[in-house]
Every structure is written in C-alpha cells, then in structure tokens.
Structure 1
Amino acid sequence: MMNQEMTKRDNYFIPMLVMALIFFMMGYITWTNGPLIPYLKIVCNLETDVQAFFVTSAFYFAYFFMALPSAMVLKKLGFKNGMIAGLIVIIVGSLLFIPAANSRTYGLFLTALFIQGTGLALLQTAVNPYISILGPIESAASRISLVGIANKSAGIVAPLLVGGIILKGAGGLEKELASITNSAARNEILSEMASRVQLPYILLAAVVFIVAIIIFFSKLPEIKAEEDADEHQNKKRSIFSFPSLILGVLALVFYVGAEVIAGDGIGQYGKNIGISLDEAKHFTSYTMAAMLFGYLIGIIAIPKYLTQEQALKYSAVIGIIFCLVAIFTTGYTSIIFIALLGLANALMWPTIFPLAISGLGGFTKVGAAMLIMAIGPGGGLVPLLYASLGGETNPQRGFWVIIVCYLFILYYAIAGHKKKSW
C-alpha cells in the first residue's frame, strides 16, 4: 500500500511541476493589472476611477465569453494541447501592447488585455479541473493551494517589477503634468511614459513562448476516466440540474470580485486616500503576500485539520471582519487590513472549485467552463460597482461591496454546496 502511494505521488510530481509553472505565468499576467490601472489613467488621460477599472473589465470578461468555447477546444485538443493554444493567444495579446503604447489608445490597450484574458480563460479551463481530478477530490484544495503558491509568488513579483518600471517617478510626473499647459510638452511626457510598458510585455511574450515549448515536450497524462465513467448516468440531465454547481458559479463571481478589489484596487485606493503613487504602486504585492501565507495554511491544514467546507466558512468570516476594520479605520491601518483580505481570499478558489465540480461526472469540463465564466462578471462588474460606490469621493464606502460578496460565500460554505436539487 505504501509503495502504491509513493508511486502515485511520483506520478503527480511532473504534472504538478508543470501546473505550478503555468500558475506562476497566469499569476504574473493577472496581477500586472494592479499597476496598469493608475498607469493607464495617467497615460490615456482618463477622468474617473470607473474608466480606469475597465482594465479589469476587459481582462476578466474574456473569461465569461471564452470559457465555454474553451471547453469545446479542450474536448478537441485535450488538456495539454489546449494549454499550449492558450499560451499562444497570450503571446498575441502581449505583443499588442506595442502598438497600443505607440498610439496611447485606451481601446487598443483594452483589446490587448481582452486577448490576454482569452488565453488565460483557455488555460484556467484546462488546469483547474486537471488539478482537481489529478488525485482524490477531497484533497483537491490542498493541490490547488500548492500551485497557488506559484501563482501568488508571481503576484508579489509582477507589481514590484512592472509597477517599478511603468510607474517610476509617477508621483512627480503627475505634479509636473498638472502644471504644464503646453499640449505638445504634455504629450511628449505621456508618450515617454507610455513607451515604458513595451519592454515588459515583449519580455513576457518571450517567456510565455519558452513555457509553451516546455509544455510541448513534457509528459502530461490526459485525465478523463472519472468524468467519462459517469457520462451514461448523467447523459439525460442538464448542467443546470446541479444546484451546487450553479451556486458555486455565483460564489466564484463574488470571490473574484473581492480578490480583484483587494489586489488590483488597493493601489488606486491608496492614491485616493492621499498616498503617493510611488509608494501605492507596491500595495498589490502586499495583498499577494497575504494570499501566499493563506495558501501555505491550506497546504498544511486541508484535509488533515480542516475540511474544504470549514476552510471556506472561516475564510468568509475573516474576510467580513477585515473589511469592517478597513472601513472604520483610516490611512495605513486601513491599507493593512485591505492587504490582509488576501489571507481571507486565499483558500476560496481552492475550496469553491472542487466543491462545485464534485459529482458532475460527464459534465465536468462544461461545469469547469461555467466556473471559469464566473471570473468575467466577478472581475469585470464587481470592481466597477466598488469604484462607482467609493472612488475618489468616498474610497472606503466601496468596501461594503466586498462584505456582500463574503456573505454569499459564507452561505455557500454552510449550505449552498450541499444542495443536490432545487
């Protein structure tokens, strides 16, 4: 028995290593959006926070529109080739930042982000169910937490690296731009600032290409027996006959919204309460560091000390408490507790996803695609609601939106995931 367990772990090692590499890449791309929000607000002369948060809308709505097509692509290509296809799409989106920067066209930047999001939608639709069914479903959260360390490590690095390049001296530049009346001089400064984004995305495209080559030559097993085995049993049922899945989709909408606000929005929030962009540009990394710590807790605690359901319940409660502290405090204390929302958010995706796809049988890939679709309205609409409710006029008021998100997640942890019929 012990030899069999060791063999299984050996069989998991290479696939998990490849998944960790992909998750690192996805995290790096995703969490560059944080510094892009204040950056593009300056470079593209945007007037409001709501306009600036279209960065998250363009990026995350790609998941909504492309997740189901991604499921069809995976059925034809399989997990491995589907991952490679997703990486190629990301390369295209990354290179589109070159003409976007040259023209300083906000719509072109948003198009590039949408294309990147399309590639990530394909990757997410492949890697999350792959990891969930790579081993026992009851320990799926632990495996997702393990690769999540790679994801959130990239989330720490990306804002520091990309933000350090594109927002270098941004505080001083804002003051200089405010004092310049000559449009030619102003455009010259903005064009120089816009050009900064090109090199990071050219290098990103090169690295993604290398990752695609590594995956091409890696030996990833196709995992389909479990879902195919139940296909006959479930062939007469609709995907909407699984309440635990549908409620799980809604839970992920609210989770993604909370994560994006705490991660991508914290820098703009810092700026809104009077902290210089030279400092606020690093705040996303603080949130990611808190998430990284949360993943470590998940790896140690699930399922040995905590069930997936308990981890989700406690995470939601902690999130509500941290939000209330962030709302009713000021300055750096508020910033600290917004960053600590990363700790509350860390185990939500790793627990909601396997709880929602458990028992889907032949509907697993479609169910996974629907869960990935939740990233769209979660990252695309919830932050806009936050920005419109809070924004520059009353920054802290927007965090009531996250409390509503956590309340629904708490319901899903306690009762929603157990529903077998409507």
Structure 2
Amino acid sequence: MTSPAPQAPSRQLSHPAAIAIVSLIFFMWGGLTSLNDVLIPHLKAVFSMNYAQAMLIQFTFFGAYFLMSLPSGAVLARLGYKASIVVGLMVAAVGAVLFYPAAKLPSYGLFLAALFVLASGITLLQVAANPYISLLGDAATSHSRLNLAQALNSLGTTLFPYFIGPLILSAAVLGADKLAAMSPDALASYRATQAQSVQVPYLLLAGALVLLAAFVLLMRIPALREATDAGDTVRHGYADVLRHAHLKWGVLAIFVYVGAEVSIGSFLINYLAEPGIGGLAEATASKYLPFYWGGAMIGRFIGAGLLTKVDARKLLALFALIAIALLATTMSTHGQLAMWTVLAIGLFNSIMFPTIFTTAIEGLGAMTGKASSLLIMAIVGGAVVPLAQGALADRIGIQHAFALPLACYAFIAWYALRGSRLSALEASTAAALPAAPTRPMH
C-alpha cells in the first residue's frame, strides 16, 4: 500500500490578484469617509450647531490619523501588511457599530467617539494599503497603480453619498424658528428621530467590513515584510526619514491636499443650499456630492493611463493650477457657474493624493513603512483645514471662505514643480534599489 503523495503548499496570489483584493479596501474606506459630508449637515441640524461646531466631525475623524498613524506603523512593522489590513477592517467595524448607541441616546459626543474609532481603523488601512499597492510591482509604474486603486476609492466616495446619503437625510429638517418654539420634550423627541436615521446604514456598513476582513484573512496575498521596518537593518528613526527633503515636503503636501479636498466636500451640501448658489434642499444637494467625488474617480482612471506616459510631477502641477482657477471662479460668481465650478474640482483632485504619496516615498527602501506612517499622519489636514474654514465661514461667509483651500492648492503646485525633486544622490540610490522581495504571510 503506497502512501499518498504530499500535497503542494498553497501558493500566494499573484500581484494583480492581490491588487484587486486590496482595491476593495480602498473602495470601502472611501465610501465611509465621504459619508462625513452627509453627517455634517444632518448632525448640524439635529444638534442646532454652527459651522465650526459641525466641523468637529471632520476634526475628530481626521484627528485620528494624526494620533493613530505612528501606532499603526508599529502594528504594520509587527504584523505585516495582510494582518494589519484585517485588524484595520475590524476596528473600523467596531466604530460603525458604535453609531447605534450614539443615535439611540442621541449624543453628539458619542457620535464623535464612534467616528474616532472608525477613523482609527481606516488609519491602519491607509498606513498599510497605500505603500502596499505601490510596492506590488515595478517602481516605474507605482504612480499608475496607486491612482488605479484610488479610483476605486473614489467609486466608494461617489456611490455611498448617492445611495446612503438620502437615507440619512430623509427626514425633513425643521428651521431654527420652529425648533425654538418646541417644548423641551418635543425637541428631544425630534432630535432622537433625526439621529436614528443613521443606525441601519452604519450597522450594514459594519457587517460589510467584517465580511471584507474575513475575505482578506482567507486570501494568500504577498506579505512584503522586507519592505516594512522588519527589513530595516540600520533601524532608521523618523528624524532620519525626514532628512529626505522630498518626503518632508510631501508630508506637508498631503496635509494641505487632504485638508482642501475634505474641506470643499464638507461644505458642498450647505454651499449648494445657499440661495445665491443652488438654492437646493439638503437632501437634494446631497445627490450632487457624487459629481464631486465621481469626478475624482473618473480623473483617477484617466490619470492611471496618463501617468504611464506623462511625467507625474508635471501632471500634478497642472491639476493643482486648474483647481486654483476653478476655486477663483466659484468665489467670484453665483448660480450655476459657481455651483458647477466647485463640483468640477473633484476631477482635478483625482491624481493628487496618490501622486504626492508615491513621489514622497520614492527611493526610501526599508524606510517606506515609517515614511508611510508620517504621510498618513499628515491626513490630519482633513481635521484642521475644514475647522479653520468653518471658522472663516462663520465670519466672512461660506463662499469667501474657499480662499483657504485655494492657498492649499498653490502649495501643491509648488511641491510638484520644486519640493518633490530628489537630490542627485537620492535619485541614483532609488535607481539602484532592487524590487521588493515577497514571501507568503503565515
């Protein structure tokens, strides 16, 4: 009797298959992030807040990136890319579940706590998934790969507000006069009814995150541990990483880019509801958000192709200059022209994050993990810039407050043309770096 032949070990997935799986993560966190643009007008009405108070939503959400990026980098170094992605998805699911008790009370503080937990999970996903995509293949096409993954991120930001936004904003919002005339009991009942419209959507999203975590756990995607701190035999510190000028300016470029993109998206519903701009009801205005985020999606699909033929830095500078022109137009006009020029900015936001990210980590080798943590930490711009613009809007009006993101795009144009350039030594070192090795994750 012969013994059975030994089974061959299961093989890890190819790079294209791994990219496809991780791109689903980009889709999910893009959608979750864009729902903040729906929560802002909704909770602003529920809790009768001004713009600055409502922007605490973005401040809390993107503040998590600042606080949790370095811990996320430590998790990535210890667990590797695959396990870190699974942990990030599960933490985000816990945050989504917390929306249920926050709406049940209702409590603005608990909403903010739920957002912080949700964003902490997404922070770990960002720290792991952005460099992971760029490392899966030829370094020369890393800009294109990350743009393609970010295109699916933008698909999430396009679809979630369109399908989930109207569910959250379905109940009619009463004006300040009617709210002031309500008794305390009636006001509490009204706020509870309004707040509870987020419960079912976020429970469904929590379930989707858990399913996605289980799917990633079962798939044998490459670990690329050698490209994390595990492969850093010299043990460089964060100060060493920041000595690379293109990374240092890249961190600031990510800060202002995310700040500008999030700030514009955060104000869109209220801006389009302005009588001199669109005069739309908030539920109707939420249906225009997909034009902003959908423009980014279309631009990223186009950009993924363009970046295989056009210099990434030149294309980034061009898109930043066009965004400046569109903002100047929306600030100086009214009606349909002001409305559509601000929505069109999404198209030119498209390549900015992935192009800044890949130029900033260029040539860093085993320091890529630490560089990624610093770049993801810079997403805190999405907390700071909207809050600052909210304070400006309360003082000078929502339309003129767009001067702040305009200044952000001006810095991005400078970064593309000057700040992102590698020194001669860095360029020669980057050219000599071998492709990242891979092995299965156990």
Matching residue within 308, 311, 318 for 1:307: 311
SS at match of 1:220: coil
Change (3 A) 1:194 1:232: closer
Give distance in 1, aligned partners of 2:16 and 2:345.
31
Residue of structure 2 in register with 1:397 after alignment: 400
Residue of structure 2 in register with 1:3 after alignment: none
Give distance in 2, aligned partners of 1:413 and 1:342.
18
Residue of structure 1 in register with 2:217 after alignment: 216
SS at match of 2:340: helix
Deviation at residue 285 of structure 1 after TM alignment:
1.5
Residue of structure 2 in register with 1:328 after alignment: 332
1:288-303 matches, within 5 Å, as: 288-303=293-308
SS at match of 1:59: helix
- Structure 1 contact 68–370 (Cα < 8 Å) conserved: yes
Change (3 A) 1:272 1:55: farther
Residue of structure 2 in register with 1:259 after alignment: 261
Give distance in 2, aligned partners of 1:253 and 1:325.
24
Matching residue within 72, 75, 90 for 2:74: 72
Deviation at residue 230 of structure 1 after TM alignment:
8.1
Matching residue within 119, 139, 146 for 2:148: 146
Give distance in 2, aligned partners of 1:13 and 1:240.
32
Residue of structure 1 in register with 2:51 after alignment: 49
1:134-173 matches, within 5 Å, as: 134-171=136-173, 173=174
Residue of structure 2 in register with 1:287 after alignment: 292
1:26 maps onto 2:29 in alignment:
yes
Residue of structure 2 in register with 1:385 after alignment: 388
Instruction: Give deviations 1:357-400, integer Å, cap 9, x for gaps.
Output: 01112211010000000011x10010111111124851111111
- The letter of the residue matching 2:409 is Y
SS at match of 1:222: coil
Residue of structure 1 in register with 2:434 after alignment: none
| Segments of 4+ moved more than 6 angstroms | 227-230
- Structure 2 contact 257–353 (Cα < 8 Å) conserved: yes
TM-score, normalisation: structure 1: 0.92
Residue of structure 1 in register with 2:101 after alignment: 99
- Structure 1 contact 129–368 (Cα < 8 Å) conserved: yes
Structure 1: runs of 5+ lacking an equivalent? 1-9
Deviation at residue 227 of structure 1 after TM alignment:
6.4
- Structure 2 contact 159–290 (Cα < 8 Å) conserved: yes
| Identity in percent | 35
Give distance in 2, aligned partners of 1:212 and 1:366.
24
Deviation at residue 283 of structure 1 after TM alignment:
2.7
Deviation at residue 235 of structure 1 after TM alignment:
4.5
Give distance in 2, aligned partners of 1:138 and 1:277.
44
Matching residue within 340, 344, 350 for 1:340: 344
Change (3 A) 1:215 1:185: same
Instruction: Give deviations 1:164-214, integer Å, cap 9, x for gaps.
Output: 11111435x447844743232232222111111100011111110100010
Residue of structure 1 in register with 2:379 after alignment: 375
- The letter of the residue matching 2:203 is I
- The letter of the residue matching 1:28 is G
Give distance in 1, aligned partners of 2:234 and 2:373.
21
CA RMSD of aligned residues (A): 2.1
- Structure 1 contact 39–167 (Cα < 8 Å) conserved: yes
Change (3 A) 1:374 1:228: closer
- The letter of the residue matching 1:314 is L
SS at match of 1:170: coil
Deviating more after overlay: 175-184 vs 255-264: 175-184
SS at match of 2:48: coil
- Structure 1 contact 44–105 (Cα < 8 Å) conserved: no
Deviation at residue 83 of structure 1 after TM alignment:
0.5
- The letter of the residue matching 1:288 is W
Give distance in 2, aligned partners of 1:36 and 1:285.
15
Residue of structure 2 in register with 1:4 after alignment: none
Residue of structure 1 in register with 2:91 after alignment: 89
- Structure 1 contact 40–52 (Cα < 8 Å) conserved: yes
Instruction: Give deviations 1:279-321, integer Å, cap 9, x for gaps.
Output: 22223221011111111211221122x1211121111111111
Residue of structure 2 in register with 1:199 after alignment: 200
- Structure 1 contact 312–351 (Cα < 8 Å) conserved: yes
Deviating more after overlay: 180-189 vs 207-216: 180-189
